[in-house]
Structure 1
Amino acid sequence: MGTSERIDLEHGGEEVAEAAASVEKAFEGKEVPPWERQVTVRSMVVSLVLGVMFTFIVMKLNLTTGIIPSLNISAGLLGFFFVKAWTKLLAKSGMLMQPYTRQENTVIQTCVVASSGIAFSGGFGSYLFGMSSDIAKQSPEATAQDIKDPGLGWMIAFAFVVSFLGLFSLVPLRKIMIVDFKLTYPSGTATAHLINSFHTTEGAKLAKKQVNLLGKFFSFSFFWGFFQWFYTASDGCGFSNFPTFGLEAYKNKFFFDFSTTYVGVGMICPYIINVSLLVGGIISWAIMWPLIDNKKGDWYSAKLEQSSLHGLQGYKVFIAIAMILGDGLYNFIKVLGRTLLGLYNQFYRKSLGTSSSSSDPNSPPLLSYDDERRIDMFLKDQIPVWFAVIGYVVIAVASIVIVPHIFPQLKWYYIVVIYIIAPALAFCNAYGCGLTDWSLASTYGKLAIFTIGAWAGASQGGVIAGLAACGVMMNIVSTASDLTQDFKTGYMTLASPRSMFLSQVLGTAMGCVISPCVFWLFYKAFGNLGIPGSAYPAPYALVYRNMAILGVDGFSALPQYCLTLCCVFFVAAIGINLVRDLVGEKWAKFIPVPMAMAIPFYIGSYFAIDMCVGSLILFIWQRIDKVNADTFGSAVASGLICGDGIWTLPSSFLALAGVKPPICMKFLSRGVNTKVDGFLES
């Protein structure tokens, strides 16, 4: 979700207001470099460094809770700082050949987000890791054809053959989406406002202060992670297992785990998301799971292992899936409805020859100075339609040939069907995102899981086929939406569409190598990925795998009364969303979001408490000094997230080298402590 800038105008007549409102008049004397000079060597070097940094952050979030905030602002801010420092140094030495422009800043932001975005759309915390034997052990009756363990080679190959197709699918429609339909793309617009402000005198001063604050909290977060590491010699040790509210609450996943990452995420996420997470944790871990646990021996066998999906774990996973699917279905229908209505209105107006800006059908639409300037630059560097079509066909053919070799269960004709319908779905997703700022890439991925999985069937490896099809579909619609949003950012900063497309391609290529390598590092350094209760439980991996099992086998795997409860929560998710939309924005901010409520059902509320602490810090800060809180809040949050995220790099290298922390800090009840003391004395 993006946040929009609000500009307060001074009282002084229409001319002053118009001048203040015009962004491009402030840049009127500055030359816009040709697209070849917008994508520079220094921009790619900075993008590579930041791409690695943000991939570690996204990967850690992927493998812990799956909640990933928008990092566009952080990427834009850090990109501005790094290149500004670079050019300042070169200017002093007399070696500066090209000044730093907002177009180059936009290229860096686009490249970084494209690179780190592969860590999410690549499925390393969801569908791809859901194929592994580590996750399969937690699912019922997995066979050899339903398992594919991670391998660096095939993960990189798969990323390359599926991640570029979405970039070519909507290139011919960029003018329609941005200029004709005038879609807002709130996150892309907010990022453009931010980049534009950086390159003004006042904006540069403010950005310097923001970067300084980000650096301070980055250092604090990094060294706090380093300090905590000394106390984690074994599982269940350290500050991350501090029983803040007592041992009984700790047993039910209610504790503050001192994670600066999630305190920072809580400062970025809306208050209602954080409260929804906490409400979901209370409903599940404080009420439902203790009640269902009391039915052990009645609803399910008391002899089952804790991780068995035929026992309590099944209720946790499948009820969470029901809520996620209910929320996804509602938002899919809602966004699709708005998309179709928007398209109807666009073409209806066009057929009448009218526009929203003019009541006279024979007069052309009135354009502001900014719009005229932006449209002129946006249409200047055309990307030929033939190039997009040939690119799509060539990559599609390569994918149809290569993907079945990686996943024999996913037949070539399944992929052909996906690639035929994918451009239409990519358009719907990009258009809906332009209206609502909501990408439904994961929803389209789930649709592929159920349809392809059911088509393949259990005997033909439908589980792997469904998960792989999810990856193919999700990458197409996700990258198409991201590129269109970046086109909007480029449109508002006068960055050439060609430089936007090239930076997206280069960023995607970086991500196809960086993301699998970072995941491989996590996989080898921390040997308990995907295990419930571990530091990296990868909750969505099990969720996606069990969606595939449901698509193939139906509801036979569910324990007693689980289907009834799933139906109740599926309907409840739709009902809550409906109420949120009916009551209006004023009251909707007090009604929980079902998707957010579902996440703690499986992994607990500890991270929700961290995020609520982040919300509380921001809330108090805004009460004390709202201006500074709004100005510097995102910089502080980014520093907290980045520092702790980057600490995972040296900690993983230490783990690979066999260096273990020297201390285990654990917390025992008084009775257990007495027994331990007695044992040690004997």
Structure 2
Amino acid sequence: MCIGKDESGMAEGSDRSLEEDEVNRRNPDSKAKEEEESGSRSGGGEGDGLSVERIFESQEVPPWKRQLTFRALGVSFVLSVLFAFIVMKLNLTTGVVPSLNVAAGLLGFFFVKMWTKVLDKSGLLQVPFTRQENTVIQTCVVASCGIASSGGFGQYLFAMSERVAGQSTNPQSAQEYKNPSLPWMIGFLFVVSFLGLFAVVPLRKIMIIDFKLTYPSGTATAYLINSFHTPEGAKLAKKQVKALGKFFSFSFLWGFFQWFYTAGDNCGFTNFPTLGLKAFQYRFYFDFSATYVGIGMICPYIVNISALLGGILSWGLMWPLIETRKGHWYPADASPTSMNGLQGYQASQDIHANVQIFISIAVILGDGLYNFFRVLGPTVSGVYHRLRDRKMSHVLPIANGSSPENPQVSYDDQRRTQLFLKDRIPTWFAVAGYVALAAISTATLPHMFHQLKWYYILVIYLFAPVLGFCNAYGCGLTDLTLASIYGTLAVFVIGAWAGASNGGILAGLAACGVMMNIVSTASDLSQDFKTGYLTLASPRSMFVSQVIGTAMGCIISPCVFWLFYKAFKDLGLPGSEYPVPYAIVFRSMAELGVQGLSSLPKHCLTLCYCFFAAAMIINGFRDLVGKKWARFIPLPMAMAIPFYVGPFFAIDMCVGSLILFIWEKTNKAKADAFGPAVASGLICGDGIWTLPSSMLQLAGVNPPICMKFLSRAANKRVDAFLGS
């Protein structure tokens, strides 16, 4: 699950000075941004004296080929490897992946600025570092990270493995698996990851110019990049990078220090019973994870609080109550890992038990379907009215004042629109590319998955452009991508079509991967087009950098996953360091799609219906009360995560929220400016530590110490045993 913060606050905070005189000096630029935001909502009206593009008017906009520099692609590759480890670790632990756009833009600026500074002093600098080149780096890195997220390594792809299939209580399902290997994973990603790019290209003008969709993350990233390349913004960016580097080092060294105490199962600080042994038994503890403290500083408060409430509801109330129904709701002699026992409701208290929680699946489906229809309705209505009422205008002239033909269009919009339309990507190229890739994919995938028939794939590709457009349009309105929901839809439809006897589980999971990659890359590219529109980066350079980033991700992400897979032999097993919870959820949904619900224990299905309805009701209530009060109502999707993982990570995230809250109360300007950098440093440092720790694991180098905690009674028994 990807949870990203509304980054407009981050971008505005990044442009804000820490001293009053700097605020006054930068006030025109700040006003320009505010006016630009209001102008984008009203269709124009910003004064030329407050224009953002007036600031960069003296700078030449390089042709699209010169925006794609070798140094930009080199930096993109390095950052892609870094962020691949971070995203992969998050995918394999809890599945909560925050938005890394800020870190990508900030580190991209830092690396290239440092590079060009050295070349400038040596007299070898040929091409200055521009905001368009910065946008290319950010686009390339985010595209590569997108493959690490949507590639299914923590979801549908690993759900196919024997390790996950072996946790099923259904003998037939346990025999249906496909173990990971580098060749087929890389090949699979290459044949399915590029179609979404070609599907959305013909719609770029409609999305960005005609419909004027906001794409909040893309807009915020553009403001961030624009601010970096002003003199004042560059000074602040250097301070932010320094803060990021400081906490990166702290987080990395803290991970290294913790490693020494993990020589055994359940050893180390990650199993520290900070709230007591009884609370630890129900997974209530602070595990000293710098990653999730950093995530808590990035995610909105309501996300972190919702996750904590979900943990209290499930592990604090429901599971202890359901335990008391042993012998009534489920057999008293049921195995702890049996789906006919407590495991059918939740993850058993035995931390090595299988984590298959149908109640959390019900919440996820309820929340996802509600948002799907909430976005689909405005999408259909909005597209109809905008296509009916829009005025087609292919070129907007640039004038010193308002254009006679377009009196309400600002200088910024005129400038951006002209350059956005200048480097057109031919529609025939996009259509031909989609058809060619679809044909290759339809011919190739059945050889990788014999359960996935060619006509299943053909049906997916016929509907995928429409669903990709819906996802891109909805993302432009709400900043919410529903790729996993479209993937879930494919799991049920294709799985039921194939049937249990014809490999429906693997067919459904493979179809999920095809659908998720198409709709995910479609929304990602639309976000990048918006960023490029606001930074005057060419659509062609955006498209090419997205293609290059996607190709990088198709190689880097499987290699990083393979390193985890080989280094950690218990990867995917419940209670391990990397339980991969979403893989088990996707496997369970695939089994439900082909086998039904008859194997669930008593009242489990009733509880699923109740929680499914509750998720929809809560979402409806959030929409009914409006934004003012909705921020106090929990998010069902965030509440569902602790049902199968436990609340420990939510406690870490709430600690991050508390740190940020206190920081904002003491010095809000400094917290707004440096909070995202500090959080990114914590996440990056702890994430990159997984590389050397994996290498040590593969080399057979084990930690020297096991730090474990026992109760007083258990300690006396151990002392007595050792004394004897």
- TM-score normalised by length of structure 1: 0.96
Asked if the contact 1:3/1:187 (under 8 Å) is kept, the reply is: yes
Distance 1:49 1:642 in 2: 13
Contact 2:494 2:507 (8 Å CA) reproduced? yes
Q: In 2, Cα distance between the equivalents of 1:642 and 1:246?
A: 30
Where does residue 628 of structure 1 map in the other structure?
670
Deviation at 1:614, TM superposition (A): 0.1
What amino acid does structure 2 have at the position aligned with 1:281?
Answer: G
Amino acid at match of 1:336: L
Q: Does 1:553 align with 2:553?
A: no
Q: Does 1:338 align with 2:378?
A: yes
Residues 1:177 and 2:207 are matched in the alignment:
yes
Corresponding residue to 1:603 among 616, 634, 645: 645
Query: What are the residue-to-residue correspondences of 1:502-651 with 2, within 5 Å?
Result: 502-651=544-693
Q: Which amino acid in the other structure matches residue 6 of structure 2?
A: G
User: Corresponding residue for 1:63?
Assistant: 92
Q: Which stretch shows the higher mean deviation, 621-630 or 335-344? A: 335-344
State the one-letter code of the partner of 1:117: G
Question: What residue identity is the alignment partner of 1:243?
Answer: P
1:434 correspondence with 2:464:
no
Residues 238 and 664, structure 1, Cα contact 8 Å, conserved in 2: yes
Comparing 671-680 and 150-159, the one that deviates more: 150-159
Residue in structure 2 matched with residue 3 of structure 1 by the alignment:
7
Structure 1 gaps of 5+ residues are: 354-361
**Is contact 1:161–1:395 with CA below 8 Å preserved after alignment?**
yes
1:166-205 Cα deviation digits (max 9, x unpaired): 0100111111111111110000000000000000000000
Q: Which amino acid aligns with 1:314?
A: G
Whole-angstrom CA distance in 2 between matches of 1:140 and 1:562: 16
1:369 corresponds to: 411
Is 1:493–2:493 an aligned residue pair?
no
**Mean Cα displacement is larger for which, 552-561 or 110-119?**
552-561
Give the 3-state SS of the residue equivalent to 1:631 in structure 2.
Answer: helix
Give a deviation string over 1:405-425, Cα, whole Å, max 9, x none. Answer: 111111110000000000000
Who is 1:259 aligned against? 289
> Which position in structure 2 is the counterpart of 1:356?
none
Alignment partner, residue 91 of structure 1: 120
**What is the Cα deviation at residue 138 of structure 1?**
1.9
CA deviation after TM superposition for structure 1 residue 304, in Å:
3.3
Q: Distance in 1 between matches of 2:247 and 2:31?
A: 38
- Distance in structure 2 (CA, Å) of the matches to 1:327 and 1:142: 31
Structural mapping, 1:110-125, within 5 Å: 110-125=139-154
Residue of structure 1 in register with 2:258 after alignment: 228
Which residue identity is paired with 1:219?
Answer: S
2:187 aligned residue: 157
2:216 and 2:544 map into 1 onto residues whose CA distance is 23
Q: Which moved more, 1:143-152 or 1:641-650?
A: 143-152
Residue 327 of structure 1: aligned partner: 367
1:499-551 Cα shifts (integer Å, max 9, x gaps): 00000000000000000000000011011111111111111000011111111
CA distance in 2: counterparts of 1:11 and 1:334, whole angstroms:
34
The whole-number CA distance in structure 2 between the counterparts of 1:301 and 1:531 is: 24
Is 1:140 equivalent to 2:169 in the alignment? yes
1:524–1:365 distance in 2 versus 1, CA, 3 Å: farther
Q: 1:419 and 1:241 mapped to 2: Cα distance?
A: 46
1:345 positional shift: 2.7
Q: Is the 8 A contact 1:231 1:239 kept in 2?
A: yes
Q: Deviations over 1:343-367 (max 9, x none)?
A: 13312423899xxxxxxxx964621
Q: Which residue of 2 aligns with 1:313?
A: 343
Answer yes or no: is 1:24 the counterpart of 2:53: yes
Aligned residues of 1:426 and 1:476 also touching (Cα < 8 A): yes
| Native 8 Å contact 1:456 1:462 kept in 2 | yes
Same amino acid, percent of matched pairs: 70
In 2, Cα distance between the equivalents of 1:350 and 1:74? 37
Match in the other structure for 2:72 = 43
Give the drift of 1:314.
1.8
Aligned Cα root-mean-square deviation (Å): 1.8
Post-superposition shift, 1:553?
1.0
Quote the Cα distance in structure 2 between the aligned partners of 1:388 and 1:347.
Answer: 21
Change over 3 Å in CA distance of 1:460–1:37 after alignment to 2:
same
Kindly indicate whether the alpha-carbon contact (under 8 Å) linking 1:136 and 1:142 is maintained by their aligned counterparts in 2.
no
| Contact residue 176 and residue 505 of structure 2 kept, 8 A | yes
Aligned mates of 2:345, 2:698 — CA distance in 1? 36
Give the residue type in structure 2 aligned to 1:124. Answer: F
- Partner amino acid, structure 2, of 1:275: I
Residue 350 of structure 2 corresponds to which residue in structure 1? none
Amino acid at match of 2:83: F
User: Amino acid of the residue matched to residue 659 of structure 1?
Assistant: V
Which residues of 2 match residues 265-284 of structure 1 at below 5 A?
A: 265-284=295-314
Aligned letter for 2:432?
I
Counterparts of residues 468-483 of structure 1 (less than 5 Å) = 468-483=510-525
Aligned to 2:233: 203
- 2-structure distance, mates of 1:307, 1:400: 39
Letter in 1 for 2:362: A
Give the distance between the partners of 1:307 and 1:536, measured in 2 at CA: 18
Question: In 2, are the aligned partners of 1:138 and 1:308 still within 8 Å (CA)?
Answer: no
CA distance in 2, matches of 1:304, 1:388: 56
Q: What whole-Å deviation, never above 9, does each CA across 1:560-591 have from its counterpart, x for those lacking one?
A: 11000000000000000011111111111111
Give yes or no for contact 1:2–1:188 (8 Å, CA) kept in 2: no
1:454 equivalent in alignment to 2:496? yes
Query: How many Å separate the matches in 2 of 1:29 and 1:159?
Result: 43
Residue 282 of structure 1 aligns to a residue in which SS?
A: helix
Partner of 1:357: none
CA contact (8 A) 2:165 2:175 kept: no
Number of residues of Structure 1 aligned to a counterpart in Structure 2 = 673
Q: 1:11 to 1:606 in 2, by over 3 A?
A: closer
Whether contact under 8 Å (2:47, 2:410) holds in the other structure is no
Q: Which residue of 2 aligns with 1:291?
A: 321
Amino acid aligned to 1:241: N
CA pair 20-240 structure 1, distance change in 2 beyond 3 A: farther
CA distance in structure 1 between the partners assigned to 2:300 and 2:382 by the alignment: 27
* Compared CA separation, residues 20 and 602, structure 1 to 2 (3 A): farther
C-alpha separation in 2, matches of 1:54 and 1:253: 28
Post-superposition Cα deviations, 1:370-411, rounded to whole Å, max 9, x if no partner, equal 001101110111111111111111111111111111111111
